[in-house]
Amino acid sequence: MGLAAKMDAPRIDRGLDDIYVKETSICLVDGDRGRLVYRGFDIRDLAQHSNFEETVFILVHGRLPTREEYDMLRKGLAESRAITPDLVRLLRRMPPDAPPMDVLRTAVSYMSNFDPERDDPTRTANMRKAQRLVAKFPTIVAAHHRIREGKRPLAPNPRLGIAEDFLRMVTGKRPDPLSARIMDVALILHADHSMNASAFAAIVAASTLADLYSAIVAAIATLKGPLHGGANEAALRTMLLVGKPENAERYVLDTLANRGKIFGFGHRVYRTYDPRALILREYARQLSEKRGQEDLFRIAEILQEVTVRELKAKQIYPNVDFYSGLVYHLLGLPMDLFTPIFAVSRVSGWTAHVIEYWDDNRLVRPLDYYVGPRDAVYVPLDQRS
Ligand SMILES: CC(C)(COP(=O)(O)OP(=O)(O)OC[C@H]1O[C@@H](n2cnc3c(N)ncnc32)[C@H](O)[C@@H]1OP(=O)(O)O)[C@@H](O)C(=O)NCCC(=O)NCCS
């Protein structure tokens, strides 16, 4: 590139780090104060008093439901939880080693063809579709997991909440109340996190006025990557690799000395403790005691203390992934379901963002700055050397 062209070059914002793409009233991530707010409600309050179903209502409607609305929502979500025998047959046709995220993506794409409202663009139809998507995600993930284990998928139990029923459909037995509550809180905490890569992917697809299913398929595809949905698995692997509490400090010091990263630490936005991590840490402690796995929690504690101490100057603190993998592991869930579980929760945020975006839609069409040749000479195939 010539000097003149270089001097004209626009500022390129790789990764769109500093670009605002919409106004929103869905989710605020306050990275300095360590606060996460859905529609004005602090997630610490929601984790203490609410449940996933109510959180879904808050995200999509922007306010607390009345008693009547709440009952209707729970009923609607429970009734929509079942998946068709045809979809179960599709899940059975997947290769046994198919990644559960890929299966979820395929299943949602398939389902869209059977939703009579797929191409109805009205807000109310989209709200209904959002509800059906939120209801069916846990059943798809659980059914596929059972099938790949050679077991029969379990039908949903509409008397149970989404979190409790999800654990039952995956493990085959009704969870104890603490496990059910922890799953519920984990779903609340992952329901949204502002304009992250998967929410943006959903917005890009939605901005073309493709349907809601297409936007959600784009979001699932984007969540799959280890830079987005997969860090909790890596954090748990670290804890298991460390093996004993007495190895934990050395692991951190050696990793940092080799300029390596400690998974589950650091965040683009948080410059202090991720509030979700603090909530899940307490649940990880309770669960590890209950399951007699105190050593694993002790390892996590030492990794946390030493990493925070060593990286204080860089403002690196544990993020949600540091504890969510540990919590899911203690709940008896396999590692490759961690990212699909993230999707089970996050589909509520994705649908909320898409519906909000369509209120004032604009096609997403950024620019790229061309630096390739401009005057290449075409040589016919038989004359090329
Ligand atoms: C999440 C993450 C990508 C954020 O990155 P970022 O905002 O671009 O911050 P940077 O990667 O530029 O990190 C700033 C500094 O802290 C260090 N740092 C950040 N996270 C670290 C970690 N987990 N372990 C060790 N050092 C870390 C970086 O090496 C860098 O040091 P330097 O300035 O000496 O080069 C990054 O913290 C990371 O890779 N974490 C591990 C993976 C993870 O847990 N992801 C889940 C996120 S929810």
The residue whose two tokens read 């959002």 is: 130
How high is the pLDDT of residue 280?
A: 97
Closest C-alpha residue for ligand 1 atom 42: 263
3-state DSSP of the chain: CCHHHHHCCCCCCHHHCCCCCCCCCCEEEECCCCEEEECCEEHHHHHHHCCHHHHHHHHHHCCCCCHHHHHHHHHHHHHCCCCCHHHHHHHHCCCCCCCHHHHHHHHHHHHHCCCCCCCCCCHHHHHHHHHHHHHHHHHHHHHHHHHHCCCCCCCCCCCCCHHHHHHHHHHCCCCCHHHHHHHHHHHHHHCCCCCCHHHHHHHHHHHCCCCHHHHHHHHHHHHCCCCCCCHHHHHHHHHHHHCCHHHHHHHHHHHHHCCCCCCCECCCCCCCCCHHHHHHHHHHHHHHHHCCCHHHHHHHHHHHHHHHHHCHHHCCCECHHHHHHHHHHHCCCCHHHHHHHHHHHHHHHHHHHHHHHHCCCCCCCCCCCCCCCCCCCCCCHHHCC
Q: Which ligand 1 atom sits nearest the alpha carbon of residue 266?
A: 37
Q: Which ligand 1 atom sits nearest the alpha carbon of residue 264?
A: 44
Query: CA-based Rg of the chain, rounded to a whole angstrom?
Result: 23
Assigned token pair, 253: 């010091």
Q: Is 228 a catalytic residue?
A: yes
Is 277 a pocket residue for ligand 1 (Cβ < 6 Å)? no
Assigned token pair, 364: 């997403």
Is 268 a pocket residue for ligand 1 (Cβ < 6 Å)? yes
How high is the pLDDT of residue 24?
A: 98
What's the predicted TM-score (pTM) here?
A: 0.94
Closest C-alpha residue for ligand 1 atom 20: 266
Q: Which ligand 1 atom sits nearest the alpha carbon of residue 227?
A: 45
Cβ-contact 160, 109 below 8 angstroms: no
How high is the pLDDT of residue 2?
A: 53
User: Which one from 102, 228, 295, 336 is the annotated catalytic residue?
Assistant: 228
Cβ-contact 269, 18 below 8 angstroms: no
How high is the pLDDT of residue 381?
A: 97
How high is the pLDDT of residue 168?
A: 98
How high is the pLDDT of residue 385?
A: 85
Is 263 a pocket residue for ligand 1 (Cβ < 6 Å)? yes
> What whole-number distance in Å separates Cα of residue 128 and Cα of residue 145?
27
Domains of the chain with bracketed CATH:
27-226+335-358 (1.10.580.10), 231-330 (1.10.230.10)
Is 267 a pocket residue for ligand 1 (Cβ < 6 Å)? yes
What spacing in Å lies between the alpha carbon of 115 and ligand 1's midpoint? 42
Q: Is 321 a catalytic residue?
A: yes
Q: Which ligand 1 atom sits nearest the alpha carbon of residue 311?
A: 26
How high is the pLDDT of residue 229?
A: 84
Mean pLDDT per 10-residue interval, the chain, length 385 residues: 65 91 96 96 98 97 97 96 98 96 98 96 96 98 98 97 98 96 98 96 98 98 88 93 97 97 91 95 96 96 97 94 96 96 98 98 96 97 94
How high is the pLDDT of residue 17?
A: 85
Q: Is 193 a catalytic residue?
A: no
Closest C-alpha residue for ligand 1 atom 45: 231
